[in-house]
Amino acid sequence: MALASRIKVVGDAELSRIHEATVEILEKTGIEFKSEEALALFKANGAEVSGHRVKIPRALLEKSIESAPSSITLWGRDEAKKITIGQGQPRTHVEPSNGCVFTHDMDRGRRASTMADLINFFKLAHQSPVCTIGGAIPVEPNDVPPEERALRVFFETLKHTDKPLKRNVQPAHEIEEMFKMYEVAMGTGYLADHPSIYASVNPLSPLAFDTEPIETIMTYARHNQPVTILSCALAGISAPMSLLGAAVMQNAEILGGLVLSQMTQPGAGLIYAPASAVPNMMNAQYVTGSPETHLINIVNLQLAEELYHLPTRTMGGLNDAKVPDAQSGYETMQNLMQCMLGGAHIINECLGVLDSIMTNSFEKFIMDEEMISRVLRFMQGIDGIHTDLSTELIDTIGPQGSFLTHPSTMKNCRTAWRPTVSDWNSQEMWEKKGSEDVLTRANRIVKERLAACPESTLDPDLEKELSAFVESRL
Amino acid sequence: MSDLQSITDALIAGDDNALTQKVQDALDAGTNASTILSEALIAGMDIVGGRMETGEMFIPEVLMSAMAMGEAVAILKPLLAEGEATSAGKVVIGTVKGDLHDIGKNLVVMMLESSGFDVTDLGVDVNIDTFLTTIREKNPDIIGLSALLTTTMPMMRETIAQINASGLGDGVKIMVGGAPVDQAFAREIGADIYASDAGSASKLAKEMMHA
């Protein structure tokens, strides 16, 4: 039995008011799309286009919501690792972090990230039992020339994981090249009937889409690959201060992207990703640990799941701490609880991330895995042996007896959740084992994991072929 | 030797039915009861103790092994020399006056018994006179005092003081344990052994006997 309820911020009546306000914004204010191709498509589908501004009529919006699927099957190169996203999925999916400039670890502190760091994050994600999705760019490889990064990073992605993949916005020609490379591994024509890679696309808040994000939406849709429209508007900066106002605006943005994807290819996978934030208004900078932030995003999760029946995703493990300290822990746990219990189908920015997505920490990755595993276990609710009301057993043991020595306890005592990095020893045992804090233990686990990880998940011949593919295009 | 190994395996698995059957089979096949006790059972409990310490075995599993051990020893006892099954030493144990908690103390009792100690368990809320009378009567090697409440910790101190004042403490080791107790407190009140859990209690008791 899963939990009887999830977190809801607003009631049904409020939800339809928010939807109606969104329709009004789309019909009256409209959204800017910086792409002639997209504008032509909107015009052909009956939208009012003036310059880059597109006013989306209710009928087109409703038809698009209707055609977007309520669940998506996403394939991994290892087909046993395929996942269902959306309706019917068994647990929250977890995606590696993305976009951090710096790498942090206990041994070397904070430094500009390199390809070696990126590969280590790929390896951790590949081995991680909580992480069901691979790819993304957990840290930027600053030592690789920018013009070579796309292909080199994708090569390392394929080399180090066979899970379903997440990617970022790219120009159309780069996406085409990447898909070709994927089909070198999986066979020509594979992607057409195997959604395997989704891209996260950001609107330019407020209410605009730039050229490359539009190319990404359209190119992915044409290849039957899903996209996730992730709005990250800042309340008071790129969205209204009002939390519901921000929810209305990001809803308009995400639905604008949805309409474009469905016009391009009806039925293309679309993952609704509300990830706006309440910033630090003292200096107007992005922060991620405010308890107000997910009052916005959970309203949007409600819209997507209750009104639109769409798969959802949000940035679930963010924090503003500069090092993996107590603040990083409590802000992360606050956000994980809110987002996961709010019903997000995928969480991202939740494995290692620090400092409002500027830094990725190896040790924090290990701590985050455990935090996510705690919430996943809680969300499983009461199931299996736990549904037994145990009246007979309670009667057998009686007052002052002990359940500890009953066979049913021995039989099930290993089914209870256990920590993977937290310390549950007594003070004495903890001292005996070296009085390690959680960071030190996490550091050790990182090293053990990396040492145990295979150097490649690719067959050697395929690896050579992919490597030759990359070199031929650089 | 293979029948001894299978006895040890059944003991570690906490499978009392299999264990008693295998012990009976070994006896029927002519294996000496004393050999079964020392080479299969006590050796097995040593492995269990080690695995408990490393966390490989969980407490409920250890307790199932300890209970199975009790059943196996009951089969062997008539065939052993007097006192052979409880030759590790004699212990008198109880939760001190004013404290009704016994889960932890009972675990200690089970672990001590399965390690071959002859244990007299006085139960909970044991007053000082009862301790003194029993010590006089049983002449134990070790006295175990347990407390869970911070409010009964002073009674632990008082009990030790009275045991020593009566002269009964000479040559007897006093072991204390319980959630609020630590090494520093144990030393301060004059206890000889502090055990933080049931596993270390039986281990420390054995070490004390061999010291």
**Structure-block tokens of residue B69:** 């051990």
Shortest distance between the Cα of B61 and any Cα of chain A, in A, equals: 5
Diameter over CA atoms, chain B: 56
Q: How confident is the model at residue A124 (pLDDT cuts 50, 70, 90)?
A: very high
Please name the residue of chain A whose CA is at the shortest distance from the CA of residue B64.
A405
Task: Convert the pLDDT of each residue in B66-96 to its tens digit.
Answer: 999 999 999 999 998 887 877 889 999 999 9
Write the residue in A400, A404, A427 that is nearest to B60 by C-beta: A404
Percent of all residues in chain B with a pLDDT value above 90, rounded to a whole number: 73
Q: Say which range, A153-162, A274-283, A360-369, B74-83, has the weakest mean pLDDT.
A: B74-83
- Is B61 in Cβ contact with A410 (below 8 Å)? yes
Domains and CATH numbers, chain B: 2-84 (1.10.1240.10), 88-210 (3.40.50.280)
CB A286 within 8 Å of CB A233: no
H or E stretch at B65:
helix B59-76
**Structure-block tokens of residue A208:** 């605009």
Q: How confident is the model at residue B1 (pLDDT cuts 50, 70, 90)?
A: very low
- Is B14 in Cβ contact with A410 (below 8 Å)? yes
Q: CA-CA distance, A261 to A219, in Å (whole number)? A: 9
Q: How confident is the model at residue A32 (pLDDT cuts 50, 70, 90)?
A: very high
Q: CA-CA distance, A350 to A336, in Å (whole number)? A: 8
**Structure-block tokens of residue A370:** 């455990």
What pTM was computed for the model?
Answer: 0.93
Kindly report each contact of residues A328-333 with a partner whose C-beta sits within 8 Å and lies 24 or more positions away, as own/partner. Answer: A328/A354, A328/A364, A328/A367, A329/A367, A329/A371, A331/A288, A331/A289, A332/A367, A332/A368, A332/A371, A333/A371
- Is A402 in Cβ contact with B103 (below 8 Å)? yes
- Is B63 in Cβ contact with A407 (below 8 Å)? no
**Structure-block tokens of residue B167:** 């002269």
CB A327 within 8 Å of CB A320: yes
Which residues of B have a CB under 8 Å from any CB of A?
Answer: 14, 58-61, 63-64, 67, 102-103, 106-107, 110, 182-183, 196-197
Q: CA-CA distance, B145 to B167, in Å (whole number)? A: 18
What number is the ipTM of this complex? 0.82
* CA neighbor of A99 nearest in space, from A135, A75, A48: A135
Chain B residues near residue A413 by CB distance under 8 angstroms:
58-61
H or E stretch at A167:
strand A165-168
Task: Convert the pLDDT of each residue in A309-349 to its tens digit.
Answer: 999 999 999 999 999 999 999 999 999 999 999 999 999 99
Task: Convert the pLDDT of each residue in A340-354 to its tens digit.
Answer: 999 999 999 999 999
Q: CA-CA distance, B210 to A131, in Å (whole number)? A: 52
Mapped onto helix, strand or coil, the DSSP state of residue A210 is coil
What pLDDT does B2 receive? 59
- Is A405 in Cβ contact with B64 (below 8 Å)? yes
- Average pLDDT over every residue of A445-466: 97
* CA neighbor of B140 nearest in space, from B162, B124, B122: B122
Task: Convert the pLDDT of each residue in A85-117 to its tens digit.
Answer: 999 999 999 999 999 999 999 999 999 999 999
Task: Convert the pLDDT of each residue in B123-154 to its tens digit.
Answer: 999 999 999 999 999 999 999 999 988 899 99
Task: Convert the pLDDT of each residue in A265-293 to its tens digit.
Answer: 999 999 999 999 999 999 999 999 999 99
Task: Convert the pLDDT of each residue in A216-247 to its tens digit.
Answer: 999 999 999 999 999 999 999 999 999 999 99
DSSP 8-state code for residue A112: E
What pLDDT does B197 receive? 86
- Is A405 in Cβ contact with B63 (below 8 Å)? yes
Beta strands A270-274 and A48-50 are: unpaired
Phi/psi-derived region of residue B85, left when phi > 0, alpha when psi is between -120 and 50, beta in every other case: alpha
* CA neighbor of A102 nearest in space, from A363, A358, A368, A446: A358
Residue position matching structure tokens 């501004």: A53
- Who contacts A405 (Cβ-Cβ below 8 Å, separation ≥6)? B60, B63, B64, B67, B110
Mutate to test the interface with A, among B71, B102, B103, B183 (most CBs of A within 10 A): B103
CA Rg value for chain A: 23
Q: CA-CA distance, A6 to A338, in Å (whole number)? A: 10
- Is B58 in Cβ contact with A414 (below 8 Å)? yes
**Structure-block tokens of residue B104:** 């932890």
What pLDDT does A468 receive? 98
Domains and CATH numbers, chain A: 66-380 (3.20.20.480)
CB A255 within 8 Å of CB A65: yes
Please give the interface size between A and B, counted as residue pairs whose CB atoms are below 8 Å apart. Answer: 32
Q: How confident is the model at residue B210 (pLDDT cuts 50, 70, 90)?
A: confident
